Amino acid sequence: MASESSYYVPEQSRLPIFATIGLFLTAFGAANWINGGSSYIFFTGALALAAVLWCWFAAVIRENMAGLNSDQLKRSYVWGMGWFIFSEVMFFAAFFGALYYVRTFALPWLGGEGERGESNMLWQGFENTWPLMVTPDAAAHGDSAKVLGPNAIIDPWHLPLWNTIILLTSSVTVHIAHVYLKKGQRNAFNTWLGITVLLGGLFLFFQVEEYYEAYTQLGLTLESGIYGTTFFMLTGFHGAHVTLGTIMLLIMLLRSVIAHHFKPDDHFGFEASSWYWHFVDVVWVGLFIFVYVLGS
C-alpha cells in the first residue's frame, strides 16, 4: 500500500494556537457580555476565529491542490466530517429528549396524573395541555403569575409547510448539483448549487418572518413557558445550523465560480457541506413532525 508511506503530516503550524485564542476570546467574551460587560471581546474573538478558520481551510485546499493529500488522508477528512455530524445529531437529541420528557412525564405529573401527580398540589388548577397555553404559574397564581403561556402558536400548515417543501427541495437540488459535478459539468453544477443556496436563504427568510410574527402577534416568545422554550430552542438551533450550512454551500459556490475548484473525482469540501445540508434537512423533518404538527 503505497499511500500509507506518503501520509502527509504537516510541519509546525501557527493555525491551532491562533484558533485557540480566537475561541477563548469568543467564549470568554460571550460570558462577559451576557453578564453585563461589553461585547467587544466577543466580537474580536469571533472575528479572529473566523479569520483563522478561513486561513486554515485555505491551507488545506492549497495542500490538496499541491497533491500532498493521499487517498488515505482524504479518508481521515471523511471520517472527521462524519463523526462531527454525529456529534451534532447528539446535540439535537438532547433538546428533542427534553421536549419528549416534558410532554410525556413532567406536564402530566404537574397536571395531577399518575403516581407522581401529587406535585399538582403546588400548582392547583393546572391542567396538562399541549400546546401549553396556560403555564402552571398562570394557573395557580392568576394575575400575579410571572411566566405566562403564549396567546397563540404557529400554524404548521402555512409557513412551516412551505419551509418543509423548500428544505426538502434543496436537499434534492444539492444532490443534483453533486451528480453534475461528478459528470464534470461545471455550469450545471454551479446553477444547481446556486439554487440550493437561494433556497437556504429563502428558508431563513421565512423563519425570520415566522419569529417576527410569533413575537409581535402571537405572544409566543422564549419566555412564554416550556412551549416557547422548546419551540425557540429547537427551531433556533436548527436555524443557526441552516445559516452555517448556507454559508458553507455559498463558499463552495464561490470556490467553484471564482476559483474553479473541485474536480469530478476530488471535491470533498463540497461533499462534506452537502452532507451537512442533508443533516439539517433531516433535523427539520424531525422538527416539523414533533414540534409543529404533533405540537399543535
Partner 1 sequence: MAHGPQSGFSRWLYTTNHKDIGSMYLWFSFAMFLLGGCMALVIRAELFEPGLQIVQPEFFNQMTTMHGLIMVFGAVMPAFVGLANWMIPMMIGAPDMALPRMNNWSFWILPFAFAMLASTLFMDGGAPNFGWTFYAPLSTEYAPPSTTFFIFSIHIMGASSIMGAINIIATILNMRAPGMTLMKMPLFVWTWLITAYLLIAVMPVLAGVVTMMLMDIHFGTSFFSAAGGGDPVLFQHVFWFFGHPEVYIMILPAFGIVSAIIPTFARKPLFGYSSMVYATASIAFLSFIVWAHHMFTVGMPIAGELFFMYATMLIAVPTGVKVFNWVTTMFRGSMTFETPMLFAIAFVILFTIGGFSGLMLAIAPADFQYHDTYFVVAHFHYVLVPGAIFSITAGVYYWLPKWTGNMYNETMGKVHFWLAFIGLNVTFFPMHFVGLAGMPRRIPDYALQFADFNQIASVGAFLFGAAQLVFLFNVVRTVMGGRKATDKVWDNPEGLEWTVPSPAPYHTFSTPPAVR
Within residues 45-84, the interface with partner 1 by CB under 8 A covers 56, 72-73, 75-77, 79-80, 83-84
At residue 263, what are phi and psi to the nearest 5 degrees?
Answer: -115, 160
Q: Which of residues 115-174 bind partner 1 (CB under 8 A)?
A: 115-116, 119, 122-123, 132, 135-137, 145-147, 149
Number of CB atoms found within 10 A of residue 163's CB? 24
Please tell me the total number of residues recorded for the chain in this structure: 296
Pick one of 40, 54, 86, 212: the residue that binds partner 1 (CB under 8 A). Answer: 86
Pick one of 24, 43, 57, 290: the residue that binds partner 1 (CB under 8 A). Answer: 24
- Indicate the residue among 116 and 263 with the shorter CB distance to partner 1: 116
- Indicate the residue among 86 and 205 with the shorter CB distance to partner 1: 86
Q: Which of 289, 121, 108, 148 is nearest to 228 (CA)?
A: 148
Pick one of 40, 54, 91, 205: the residue that binds partner 1 (CB under 8 A). Answer: 91
Q: Which stretch binds partner 1 (CB under 8 A): 106-114, 160-168, 182-190, 272-280?
A: 106-114
| Angle at the Cα of 232 from the Cα atoms of 229 and 238, rounded to 5 degrees | 135
Q: Which of residues 218-277 bind partner 1 (CB under 8 A)?
A: 221-229, 232-233
Residue 102 is a binding residue for partner 1 (CB under 8 A) = yes
- Indicate the residue among 91 and 212 with the shorter CB distance to partner 1: 91
Q: Which stretch binds partner 1 (CB under 8 A): 9-17, 150-158, 163-171, 268-276?
A: 9-17
- Indicate the residue among 112 and 194 with the shorter CB distance to partner 1: 112
What is the total count of residues that contact partner 1 (CB under 8 A)? 75
- Indicate the residue among 106 and 161 with the shorter CB distance to partner 1: 106
